[in-house]
Amino acid sequence: MSHRGDSRALLRAMPLVFVLIWSTGFIVARYGMPHAPPLSFLAWRYVLSILCFLPWILLARVAWPATRAQWLHLGVTGVLMHAGYLGGVWAAVKAGMGSGLVALVVGLQPVLTAIWLSSRGSSVTRRQWLGLALGFAGLTLVVARKFGAGGEATAFNMGLAVLALLSITVGTLYQKQFVAPCDVRSANAVQLLAALVVTLPLALFETEAVRWVDAHGAVNWELAGAMAWSVLGLTLGGSSLLYLLIQRGAATSVTSLLYLVPPTTALMAWMLFAEPITLTTIVGTALTALGVSLVVRAAR
- What pLDDT digit, counting tens, does each position of 187-196 carry? 999 999 999 9
What confidence score (pLDDT) does residue 251 get? 54
Residue 203, CA distances (Å) to 84, 214, 246, 249 in order: 13, 22, 30, 35
- Cite the DSSP H helix spans in the chain: 3-32, 38-59, 68-78, 85-94, 99-106, 109-121, 126-144, 155-178, 184-203, 221-228, 240-247, 251-258, 261-273, 279-299
The single-letter code of the amino acid at 260 is L
CA-to-CA distance for 129 and 294, rounded, in angstroms?
A: 9
Contacts of 47 (CB under 8 A, 6+ apart): 196
Contact yes or no for 106/287 (Cβ under 8 A): no
pLDDT of 69 higher than 90: yes
Give dist(CA 121, CA 124) in Å, integer. Answer: 9
Residue 223 has pLDDT above 90, yes or no: yes
Q: What is the dihedral of CA 34, 48, 247, 260, to 10 degrees?
A: -20
CB 136, CB 108: distance < 8 Å: yes
Q: Where are the domains of the chain?
A: 13-116+154-255
Q: How many CB atoms lie within 10 A of CB 58?
A: 9
Identify which has the larger pLDDT, 121 or 26: 26
Average pLDDT rounded to a whole number, residues 86-98 = 94
CB contact at 8 A, 289 and 259: yes
pLDDT given for residue 13 in this prediction: 67
296 touches 114 (CB < 8 A): yes
Query: CA separation (Å) from 130 to 20, 142, 211, 252, 293?
Result: 28, 18, 47, 19, 11
For the chain, give the percent of residues with pLDDT over 90.
40
pTM: 0.84
What is residue 148's predicted lDDT score, i.e. its pLDDT?
63
Question: From CA 56, how far away is CA 59, in angstroms rounded?
Answer: 5
pLDDT digits (tens, 9 = 90+) for 156-184: 999 999 999 999 999 988 988 898 888 88
DSSP calls for 176-223: HHHPPP--HHHHHHHHHHHHHHHHHHHHTT--SPP-SB-TTSSB-HHH
Could you tell me the pLDDT band of residue 149, with boundaries at 50, 70 and 90? Answer: low
